[in-house]
Structure 1
Amino acid sequence: MAVQIETSNKFLNYINGEWVASNTNEVMTNINPANTDDVVGQVQKSSREDLDKAVAAAKPAKKEWRDLAGAERGQYLYKAADVLESRIEEVAQCMTREMGKTFPEAKGETARGVAILRYYAGEGMRKVGDVIPSSDNDALMFTTRDPLGVVGVITPWNFPVAIPMWKMAPALIYGNTVVLKPASEAAVTCAKIFECFQEAGLPAGVANMITGPGSVIGQGLAEHPDVSGITFTGSNTVGKNIGQIALARGAKYQLEMGGKNPVIVAEDADLDLAVEATISGGLRSTGQKCTATSRVIVQSDVYEVFKEKLVAKVKEIRVGDGLQDGVWMGPSVSESQLNTVLSYIEKGKEEGELLCGGKRLSGEEYDKGYFVAPTVFDGITSDATIAQEEIFGPVLALMKVDEMEEAIELANDVEYGLSASIFTTNIQKMLSFIDDMDAGLVRVNAESAGVELQAPFGGMKQSSSHSREQGEAAKEFFTSIKTVFVK
């Protein structure tokens, strides 16, 4: 919603080292999805003119920033990590109030943001090239790396600390300047990140944040002639549009998009471990993860036992306000997202058998929030809507197979290829899964959701633009190789 700026609980854009209001004099109001009476804050509803100011600040700042030694840039990231760590409770509480995940999850994510900053701060002391033998005995030939320049960063609401950090930290350490457009639903949390950068003394113009509608600010970043690269995480529809715009003008782009992630439970699996990981991977964070488990493919010999164990555990899940002790799953992030999930649930009722959940929760604890019961369907076939389309909610679809070959074929029978996991104690099944699974992240005897910050992350098929984020792989996107020949 857009209203006139009139409260003190508002957050401004961060441009050229200063907090500035949009020239529209309008804000968007963020409310707590667990309690719609709770206003978390107001963020700027910015215009293209505001975006131009942010890019204009980042463009001249890039020369001085890239001319610093990598170790010097790293010191700023170390300082920002220290500041964020000192505010971990505050940032995590804001995250829970703004987008709904439980406080322990929010605190863990904020701690991960600290770790990401420190990891990439260390990158400032690592090599940037190689010496290559030349055919000329009197010459020296080597490679170095140049930053892209100004990088546009577009991030989603489901990980409002971790994803901005794993994009911004490598962009900055490799010498780029940044203009970040966070998802509006989590922009207050993101503003708190920039308060940490400001407190750490990051030079003016090096990191900028601007909030506003994706159709204005996100589109504007993709189209801006002074933005040399775009890194995006979000929906397939928006991501492909961003990529086409960037490609048309010759800008580098990186897209991380949807997932429809399977877990395979083999007949020899530890069923209790598989149940625990399926629930954690599929329902934690209310299923609002691109790597969340949504399809559960189980061999027929253990299908009924697994199903019984799974449904019993799902029914024990406590749903509620993520700031309350003992709550395991919070609300959907918004009314719109809740309605999307409920519409898929209704479709699932037509396509299979509802085993548990399947409704919006009501009652005193739930009436002011966007709560949906964790839901499990049985008898789902691969051509079902809920087996093919990303739901981004706490919905699991059970699918029965006889043989492992059939399980892998079913797991691959979607347009996405982000993550997948298998539970088995058979080495041959593990190896077949690793070789044959069309996914960028495959996990054995572990949930589908989760990747360590030092490891490359990205998908196959329609899940990404085939680039990788995090770890040393981030260097490939945020820099260009320059080959040097000295006679």
Structure 2
Amino acid sequence: MPETFKNYIDGEWRDSETGDTFEVSNPADDADVVGEYQFSSAADANGAVEAAAAAQDEWADTDAGTRGTYLREVAKHLDDREEELTELLVREEGKTRTEANGEVNRAIDIFYYYAERAMDYNGEVLNPTGGNQNLYYVREPMGVAGLVTPWNYPIAIPAWKMAPALATGNTVAIKPAKRTPNSVRAIFEAFDEAGLPDGVVNMVTGSGSEVGNAIVEHEQVDCVSFTGSRQVGETIYEQATDDHKRIQTELGSKNPSLVMPSADVAAAAETVGAGAFGVTGQACTATERVLVHEEVYDEFVDHLVEYAEGLEVGPGLDDPGMGPHVSEDQLETTLDYVELGEEEGATLEYGGERLDGDEYDGGHFVSPTIFTDVESDMRIMQEEVFGPFVGVMPVSDLDEGIELANDVEYGLSAGILSQDHTEINRFIDEVDFGIIKPNAKTTGLDLHVPFGGMNASSSETYREQGEEGMDYFTIIKTVYDNY
């Protein structure tokens, strides 16, 4: 029998009032049940928010050094369980062991980072225009933070939302993704072991329509941070703004990489392949549009196909080059786009097949997919697939490459492969993306710098991570102290 895990509300592990649970299975093997989780109700979510609201004033009054000490203890508890959490994440989400270990360590580093930043983040003293006055501003917590997180980075994204919220004196009610609640549960075990005061952090598992909506709409939630699909994010944005809540959304994208003739073509193909097929393409920063100068187009396609052919696909615990999709639904979505690409007249250059037999039976495996003979307005070049899927298109020069890079509604991450810094600087200046990565894969981010997109990829309100991640969870009070 799989272990049954509970919600965490007001410092206690609690069953849902519904009495219902749901199972989460290993994406590489449906027979491997990771655990059972509470299929919670709106009432459970309301209880989590109310516990957070009751604890908020005391947590806000807790000095920043003490808040940082709690976060440091959380990081230590997670660090002590690094290998265990790595395997847990592999079994829950399907990442390769190497990818999962990198994500677990990112979460640990995030808590350490914000533990230190809590000490020196408050405000600033300024020079007044007149005499006999102290002029300064301070930052105060927003209050209760309602967080809704995705399945593709199930420990890192919750960490980079919760840690800055807590460091700045907010309390938290979070709904983790229904497909991957176990990694967030592990963070809450660390919260519990670190002794955070009751009500400061609260977690409720279940559906987005029931639990997520209840958190977003609760009158005691002061700010909402959501990462996930564009469709859901736009609905949450409308719900939150209708209630005059502060809102932050990071959504999908259709990220381009532009390859110019001055690039090392073989190395460029490896970089693009890593950005497209790493984490099974299940990243909002993954490469899906590849724009290649016509002088090196054929050579690049050959190298990219060679890269894909050499990519071992298998169960994440075996640490292959690429793991399974997170679910049957996600696999079917990718296969549907493969079929759509052929219907639109593109050429399936490589892959796009469901893998079965032997180690693939019972899992959600697909070969990396490469399309050529694509047009920018094809659906497979405009809509986010969220799988190991790229379309490769020739361009005649830098101007056309920049134009086509911008020819999408999204704007999260973009790359250019070139040794010409004039080309690189023009690309940086002229593409409408929140993250620009010359001579690097579009995935992979540092934790101490702002993260976020433009256009349909984001609410374009506040960035996540770094100091800007703390800005979102605070409001400024300006003080004119006359004497």
TM-score interval, smaller chain: over 0.9
Q: Which residue of the partner structure matches residue 318 of structure 1? A: 312
Alignment of 1:97-112 (within 5 A): 97-112=91-106
Q: Which residue of the partner structure matches residue 465 of structure 2? A: 470
Q: Which residue of the partner structure matches residue 485 of structure 1? A: 480
Count of residues in Structure 1 that have an aligned counterpart in Structure 2: 480
* Residues 1:345 and 2:345 aligned together: no
* Residues 1:57 and 2:51 aligned together: yes
Q: CA deviation at 1:8?
A: 5.7
C-alpha distance after superposition, 1:25-61 (max 9, x if no partner): 0011101110011111011110011111111111111
Distance (Å, rounded) in 1 between the aligned partners of 2:404 and 2:235: 29
Aligned partners of 2:46 and 2:215 also within 8 Å: no
* Residues 1:219 and 2:213 aligned together: yes
Q: CA deviation at 1:104?
A: 1.0
* Residues 1:383 and 2:372 aligned together: no
Q: Which residue of the partner structure matches residue 326 of structure 2? A: 333
Aligned partners of 2:3 and 2:35 also within 8 Å: yes
Match for 2:246: what amino acid?
K
Distance (Å, rounded) in 1 between the aligned partners of 2:134 and 2:307: 64
Q: Which residue of the partner structure matches residue 306 of structure 1? A: 300
Aligned partners of 2:150 and 2:177 also within 8 Å: yes
Q: Which residue of the partner structure matches residue 4 of structure 1? A: none
1:271 maps to which of 257, 262, 265: 265
C-alpha distance after superposition, 1:360-403 (max 9, x if no partner): 11112112111111110111110111100000001111010011
1:96 maps to which of 90, 104, 118: 90
Q: Which residue of the partner structure matches residue 34 of structure 1? A: 28
Q: Which residue of the partner structure matches residue 297 of structure 1? A: 291
Secondary structure in 2 aligned to 1:318?
coil
Distance (Å, rounded) in 1 between the aligned partners of 2:71 and 2:233: 28
Secondary structure in 2 aligned to 1:368?
coil
Secondary structure in 2 aligned to 1:381?
coil
Distance (Å, rounded) in 1 between the aligned partners of 2:242 and 2:451: 26
1:368 maps to which of 356, 362, 383: 362
Distance (Å, rounded) in 2 between the aligned partners of 1:69 and 1:449: 36
Percent pairwise identity: 47
Distance (Å, rounded) in 2 between the aligned partners of 1:124 and 1:485: 25
Distance (Å, rounded) in 2 between the aligned partners of 1:190 and 1:328: 26
Distance (Å, rounded) in 2 between the aligned partners of 1:131 and 1:40: 52
Structure 2: tracts of 5 or more residues without a match: none
Distance (Å, rounded) in 1 between the aligned partners of 2:33 and 2:159: 25
Q: Which residue of the partner structure matches residue 288 of structure 1? A: 282
* Residues 1:168 and 2:167 aligned together: no
Match for 2:352: what amino acid?
G
Q: Which residue of the partner structure matches residue 198 of structure 2? A: 204
Match for 1:331: what amino acid?
P
* Residues 1:83 and 2:77 aligned together: yes
Q: CA deviation at 1:71?
A: 1.1
For structure 1, which segment, 380-389 or 59-68, has the greater mean C-alpha deviation from structure 2 after superposition? 59-68
C-alpha distance after superposition, 1:318-360 (max 9, x if no partner): 11100014x1111111111111111001011223101110111
* Residues 1:249 and 2:243 aligned together: yes
C-alpha distance after superposition, 1:88-108 (max 9, x if no partner): 111111111111011111011
1:458 maps to which of 452, 458, 462: 452
Q: CA deviation at 1:445?
A: 0.5
Q: Which residue of the partner structure matches residue 121 of structure 1? A: 115
Distance (Å, rounded) in 1 between the aligned partners of 2:278 and 2:299: 23
Aligned partners of 2:290 and 2:393 also within 8 Å: yes
C-alpha distance after superposition, 1:49-83 (max 9, x if no partner): 11111111111111111111111100001000000
* Residues 1:156 and 2:147 aligned together: no
Aligned partners of 2:136 and 2:478 also within 8 Å: yes
Secondary structure in 1 aligned to 2:202?
strand
* Residues 1:442 and 2:407 aligned together: no
Distance (Å, rounded) in 2 between the aligned partners of 1:91 and 1:8: 17
Secondary structure in 2 aligned to 1:218?
helix
For structure 1, which segment, 90-99 or 123-132, has the greater mean C-alpha deviation from structure 2 after superposition? 123-132
Aligned partners of 2:9 and 2:48 also within 8 Å: yes
Distance (Å, rounded) in 1 between the aligned partners of 2:68 and 2:126: 27
Distance (Å, rounded) in 2 between the aligned partners of 1:74 and 1:130: 20
Secondary structure in 1 aligned to 2:136?
strand
Distance (Å, rounded) in 2 between the aligned partners of 1:8 and 1:288: 27
Q: CA deviation at 1:244?
A: 0.6
Aligned partners of 1:282 and 1:394 also within 8 Å: yes
Distance (Å, rounded) in 2 between the aligned partners of 1:359 and 1:393: 12
Secondary structure in 1 aligned to 2:295?
helix
RMSD: 0.9
Provide TM-score, normalisation by structure 2. 0.98
2:386 maps to which of 392, 412, 427: 392
- Show structure 1 runs of 4+ deviating over 3 A: none
- CA distance 1:8–1:328, change in 2 (3 Å): closer
Q: CA deviation at 1:133?
A: 2.5
For structure 1, which segment, 223-232 or 342-351, has the greater mean C-alpha deviation from structure 2 after superposition? 342-351
Distance (Å, rounded) in 2 between the aligned partners of 1:8 and 1:16: 26
Aligned partners of 2:250 and 2:458 also within 8 Å: yes
